Structure 1
Amino acid sequence: MTFPERKLDSVLFVDDEKSYLTYTSELFSGRGIEVLTASSALEALDLIRAHQVAVVVSDNEMPGMQGIELLAEIKKLSPDTVKIMVTGHASLATALAAINSGEVFRFVLKPWKKGDMLRAVKEGLRRFRVQQSLKREDEFILHSLAQTIELKDASTKGHCDRVATLALKLSEALGIPDDVRRQIRYGSWLHDCGKIGVPEHILNAERSLTEEEQTVIRKHPEWGCDVVKKANLSQTVQEIVLYHHERFDGKGYPAGLQSKSIPIEAQIVSAADICDALTMDRPYRKGFTLPEAKAIIRSMSGSNLDPFLVGKLMKVLDN
């Protein structure tokens, strides 16, 4: 019996010095990857359009379009492609800014050492495969985890699904890109995953919580962030889980962030979370009707929630 061969991951090397391309091709030959090369940014973009590229390794100093500009274009065309920059001189500030913006996964200094390049590409491929695994099959696992957490608190059954549905509608109204909306869906499912560490007698209390119990339950964003970080989920998902109880006026937790310093993805999930929580029956109160909930949310404008976001949410709820 024969089995189909697994499709090899493609790694694209971009450099206007063809000697580097020749050496790189030889270095990675026989290592279980498909090696692609391009001697210009335009040639690289054509290859990106024609192939699924796992990792792109680009020189920065090239005639025409610089490497940093090329990687920004690749991010638009192929968001999952992991980007590595090769440069002869990059300041720490430039490197950190590029990495933090998501434009660059790693920097390799030129002239590079064989070990540094091999390590960077290996780590890039690992990152790409984790992302692809998440997209292909782990959604079931993430959704199952959210449902397992809800079993601890019977009154929240279906909460994570409803939060995800509303958060995605709000994201669409705000023009959030598709790849970010996918992370918002995961973050919505998992925003309360830290509650797995909260005792059930606190979650299901039919009374006001004591100050000590409030302290315990306020730990769940940090506990949840630790869970998703260890699962190698994206920075966006981590921030949603960590910051979904922050408030626009800075009186939330755990970090006391305010206004625009709260990531927009976390603000979106927070708004959806509040809306669904208001309309749910809880052990200590009946759920509000939708008109009542909308009035309460409007009263939170400028305190719990960004006024602009509240306006968008009202339009979504009206449709």
Structure 2
Amino acid sequence: MIPDAKALPVVLFVDDEPSILSALRRLFRPQGYRVLLAESGKAALAVFETEPVDLVVSDMRMPEMDGASLLEQVHQRWPMVGRVLLTGYADIGSTVAAINRGQIHRYVSKPWDDRELLMCVQDALERRRLEQENRELLQLTRTQNEELQTLNTNLAARVKARTSELEQVNAMLETSFAQLQENFLLSINVFSGLIELRGGGMAGYSREVADLARRTARRLNVGAQLEQDVYIAGLLHEVGKIGFPDAMLRKPLSAMAGDELALYRRHTLNGEAALLPLRQLQRVARFVRSHHERIDGKGFPDAISGDEVPLGAQILSVASDYYAAQSGRMSLKRYSAAEAHSLILGGAGTRYEKSVVEAFELALKDEPTEKPRDRQLQAHEVMPGLVLSRDLLSPQGTLLLAAGFVFDVRVVKQLREFASREGVKLTVFVKLPEGGAA
């Protein structure tokens, strides 16, 4: 592909001897330059009027206008053009004066060395290219600075508006995330209640276990995330029993043997398998798997011991054993709360870490730091617009409505129909209005 002639560097050679000009043309044309020639200073100035020139190389000694005078005029009229002086004078003083007057970039002594002259021209053109790029960059920077100043005029207001917009979006996202978390926990509560509908026994058993496990975790200062994971594990720790036969669900552990006992010992593995597909419940699944392990290694399903038993699983184990003893899940005898308490204390150091048992004892004494400001109603007294202050449970302990629910006409009607159809007395706690009296 032949390069565009207009894109080639243009070099103008000025000398009053045609043979020298011919020699310069033969030397430089193969280098990829566009070569122009002038036999006098006046002819060179005429070339400048009609041609774009990147570099002028002029002989010093010429009639009428010598090289120094020519380059001085070029400097004044076309300052961006590179300037090189060829001189045969031995008088260095004249050369220095010429350099000062014409702001000459380089001078080369005659007779020249072809290699030196080629390098000189190449360097001069490269210098001119860099200067041109620098000027363009400076101009671009100046333009951009002016644009920035224009943009900065109203930047503060625009930033403030954008910040306000982002704050609103973040608030909406936080609200949406909180609602998702709330709905997620509500779904787990509902599912936990459905499991208990099959099992019979103590109403709200899993919710009691979950609440005690969370309070125990809080006493151990394990952090909010582990507290929530332990709470969820408490709600779901019996999910692996969902496939048990009805008769087995109502049979205490002490009465099981053979195939039933083998099936019972697999319920923690089944529970883990049911929860693992949910990314949010990965750690919960581990706690469910290991909540029948013991720190002395005599538990199941993995017979792990000591620190191998996850702390969350130990917390869940204490809470579930405490209520399992009272609900008849462990033996035919239903333990009292005091007896179940003693049972847990007796397992410190063998079944459970002592620190977990100590936290469990403190958790039993915990009471809500702030009692809800609410009032108690019966189902037929509930009106649309009232806000539920506590979870509403069925007589079997199943979650019917979660705290914070706002009653509407449809739900009020359904609630009354449910109470009438089932023949049950539902106690509903609703929030008092702000500034209202109990």
What is the CA deviation profile of residues 68-93 of structure 1, one whole-angstrom value per residue up to 9, with x for unaligned ones?
xxxxxxxxxxxx9xxxxxxxxxxxxx
> Structure 1 residues 228 and 271 mapped into 2: Cα distance closer, same or farther (>3 Å)?
same
Q: Secondary structure at the match of 1:151?
A: helix
Cα distance in 1 between the residues matched to 2:354 and 2:331? 29
CA RMSD of aligned residues (A): 2.8
Deviation of 1:145 after TM superposition, in Å, equals 1.2
Cα distance in 2 between the residues matched to 1:196 and 1:304? 26
Deviation of 1:188 after TM superposition, in Å, equals 1.0
Question: Which among 250, 274, 289 is matched to residue 321 of structure 2?
Answer: 274
Aligned to 2:219: 173
Is the counterpart of residue 197 in structure 1 residue 243 in structure 2?
A: yes
Unaligned runs of 5+ in 1: 1-48, 54-79, 81-128
Is the counterpart of residue 186 in structure 1 residue 232 in structure 2?
A: yes
Question: Which among 241, 255, 258 is matched to residue 305 of structure 2?
Answer: 258
TM-score computed with the length of structure 2 as normaliser: 0.41
Cα distance in 2 between the residues matched to 1:257 and 1:284? 25
Aligned runs of 1:39-188 on 2, under 5 Å? 135-188=181-234
Aligned to 1:222: 269
Decide whether the 8 Å contact of 2:325 with 2:335 is kept in 1.
yes
Question: Which among 329, 345, 349 is matched to residue 298 of structure 1?
Answer: 345
Aligned to 1:317: 364
What is the CA deviation profile of residues 206-226 of structure 1, one whole-angstrom value per residue up to 9, with x for unaligned ones?
671122110001111111111
Decide whether the 8 Å contact of 2:275 with 2:282 is kept in 1.
no
Cα distance in 2 between the residues matched to 1:283 and 1:290? 14
What is the CA deviation profile of residues 241-300 of structure 1, one whole-angstrom value per residue up to 9, with x for unaligned ones?
111111111111111111111111111111100111122245953422222222211111
Question: Which among 250, 266, 288 is matched to residue 241 of structure 1?
Answer: 288
Decide whether the 8 Å contact of 1:224 with 1:241 is kept in 2.
yes
Deviation of 1:205 after TM superposition, in Å, equals 2.7
Deviation of 1:183 after TM superposition, in Å, equals 1.5
Deviation of 1:157 after TM superposition, in Å, equals 2.7
Decide whether the 8 Å contact of 2:217 with 2:359 is kept in 1.
no
> Structure 1 residues 218 and 143 mapped into 2: Cα distance closer, same or farther (>3 Å)?
same
Percent of pairs with identical residues: 25
Cα distance in 2 between the residues matched to 1:213 and 1:153? 16
Q: Secondary structure at the match of 1:163?
A: helix
Aligned to 2:257: 210
Decide whether the 8 Å contact of 1:204 with 1:283 is kept in 2.
no
Q: Aligned pair count?
A: 197
> Structure 1 residues 256 and 281 mapped into 2: Cα distance closer, same or farther (>3 Å)?
closer
Deviation of 1:175 after TM superposition, in Å, equals 0.6
Unaligned runs of 5+ in 2: 1-166, 367-438
> Structure 1 residues 283 and 307 mapped into 2: Cα distance closer, same or farther (>3 Å)?
closer
Cα distance in 2 between the residues matched to 1:266 and 1:134? 26
Cα distance in 2 between the residues matched to 1:203 and 1:136? 30
> Structure 1 residues 274 and 134 mapped into 2: Cα distance closer, same or farther (>3 Å)?
farther
> Structure 1 residues 299 and 234 mapped into 2: Cα distance closer, same or farther (>3 Å)?
same
Matched to 1:147, the amino acid is G
Decide whether the 8 Å contact of 2:240 with 2:267 is kept in 1.
yes
Cα distance in 2 between the residues matched to 1:308 and 1:164? 19
> Structure 1 residues 282 and 244 mapped into 2: Cα distance closer, same or farther (>3 Å)?
closer
More off after superposition, 196-205 vs 144-153: 196-205
Cα distance in 2 between the residues matched to 1:133 and 1:274? 32
Cα distance in 1 between the residues matched to 2:344 and 2:329? 18
Deviation of 1:236 after TM superposition, in Å, equals 1.5
Matched to 1:306, the amino acid is E
TM-score computed with the length of structure 1 as normaliser: 0.56
> Structure 1 residues 257 and 153 mapped into 2: Cα distance closer, same or farther (>3 Å)?
same
Cα distance in 2 between the residues matched to 1:292 and 1:186? 26
Cα distance in 1 between the residues matched to 2:267 and 2:340? 25
> Structure 1 residues 136 and 299 mapped into 2: Cα distance closer, same or farther (>3 Å)?
closer
Deviation of 1:228 after TM superposition, in Å, equals 0.7
What is the CA deviation profile of residues 129-176 of structure 1, one whole-angstrom value per residue up to 9, with x for unaligned ones?
9x8785142222111111111112111431110001101110111112
